[in-house]
Amino acid sequence: MELREILSRCDHTLLRVDATAAEIRALCDQGMRYGCASVCIPPCHVAGAKKYVGDRLRICTVIGFPNGYNTPAVKAFEAAEAIRNGADEVDMVINLAMVKDGCWDDVAADIRAVREVSRGRILKVIIECCLLTEEEKRMLCRIVSDSGADYIKTSTGFSTGGATADDVRLLRT
């Protein structure tokens, strides 16, 4: 696979809490220059970034980030507002407390609430692999798939660790 093809599947990301508008514009410039799939940015920068790039680059933002413990209604509101502001894609963080409590129907409802307001947009669900057992990861793969999300992601990058090769192998099965 050529580098350009790899980059076309990657989100160029800047989610620091102190990211400035100038840094977001620079990220967008890089994303366009290198042909990235999208830029993933904080919700507060979506409108400005969309105005800056127009249709030249997909804008992705995060929902319930980084902890995921917002209620489904709050996540749905956040996603709807991000889409109104120009987001083409949303990355939502699951509620790990629900997972740890084994409240699988609530986890599914959480994802469906965001899917409902993001129809026609790409929805990625971040499951934070470093905090999960193998069985929880397997269960989440089924729930994410059944809930209509487009992708599953391994990590926010803000927790105790990232994804491992074993995580990627497990998620691919």
Q: In a 10 Å sphere around its CB, with 0-12 CB exposed, 13-18 middle and 19+ buried, how is residue 130 labelled?
A: middle
User: Phi, psi at residue 58, to the nearest 5°?
Assistant: -75, 140
Is pLDDT of 60 > 90?
A: yes
Alpha helices by DSSP H, listed for 35-151, are 46-53, 72-84, 96-100, 104-117, 134-146
Return the closest-CA partner of residue 15 out of 70, 50, 61, 48: 61
pLDDT at 22: 99
Average the pLDDT over 102-112 and give the result: 98
The three state secondary structure string of 148-161 is CCCEEECCCCCCCC
**Arithmetic mean of pLDDT over the chain:** 97
49 pLDDT tier (thresholds 50, 70, 90): very high
Q: Return d(Cα 135, Cα 88) in angstroms, integer.
A: 32
Phi then psi for residue 21, to 5 deg, are: -60, -40
14 has pLDDT over 90: yes
Pull the structure tokens for residue 167: 């995580």
pLDDT at res. 162: 84
Domains of the chain, start order: 3-172 (3.20.20.70)
Please say if the pLDDT value at position 61 is more than 90: yes
**pLDDT of the residue at 18:** 98
Query: Rounded to whole angstroms, how far apart are CA atoms 10 and 169?
Result: 19
Instruction: Please state whether the peptide bond connecting residue 66 to the residue before it is cis, i.e. omega within 30 degrees of 0.
Output: yes
Residue-wise pLDDT for 116-160, tens only, equals 999 999 999 999 999 999 999 999 999 999 999 999 999 999 999
Is 90 exceeded by the pLDDT of residue 172?
A: no
pLDDT in tens, 65-90: 999 999 999 999 999 999 999 999 99
Q: What is the pTM of this model?
A: 0.94
Mean pLDDT value across residues 29-55: 98
The DSSP symbol for 37 reads S
CA nearest 82: which of 138, 132, 38, 135?
Answer: 38
* pLDDT tier for residue 163 given thresholds of 50, 70 and 90: confident
Length of the chain: 173
